[in-house]
Amino acid sequence: VLGTGFGRPVLAQIVGAAHARGLWGPLMQFATELEQRTQGLIAKLLATSDDDVLDAMLDAVWELRLQAELARLFSRLPAKELSAFCGRLMARGGDEFVAALRQAAEEHDLDALSKALATA
């Protein structure tokens, strides 16, 4: 687990750069290696990002088969934010994406995420 002192502004710049340069795969893989607090901040930034950013991330996750990384990252969201994100995920990603993410959540024992996806 890598610790960082990065705050929200720096993480927002990193997410913005990943979006601008199409580096979602490396970001998702790297983010899951960070400490839980930083993972939670990244998850919050992504969950509240605009539709273009979210769509690009979801496309990359699907193409690169990074559902497990996405599941681990978003499992760090508090329950209320997780529920809101799952609803948004259903609208933006669709049934097939949500089913694949739920399967990844179940495989990694991420029960809160799995339940939130089941009710999305």
Helix (H, G, I), strand (E, B) or coil at 4: coil
Structure tokens at 10: 């720096």
The per-residue pLDDT for range 55-99, each reduced to its tens digit, is 999 999 999 999 999 999 999 999 999 999 999 999 999 999 999
Residue 1 has pLDDT above 70, yes or no: no
Residues in the chain: 120
The per-residue pLDDT for range 4-56, each reduced to its tens digit, is 666 778 889 999 999 999 999 999 999 999 999 999 999 999 999 999 999 99
- Closest C-alpha among 93, 6, 17, 66 to residue 41: 6
Q: CB of 106 within 8 A of CB of 69? A: no
In the chain, where the domains are located = 8-118
- Residue 71 has a pLDDT of 97
- Residue 81 has a pLDDT of 94
Please give the model's pTM, rounded to 2 decimal places.
Answer: 0.87
Structure tokens at 99: 């089913």
- Residue 2 has a pLDDT of 55
- Residue 120 has a pLDDT of 82
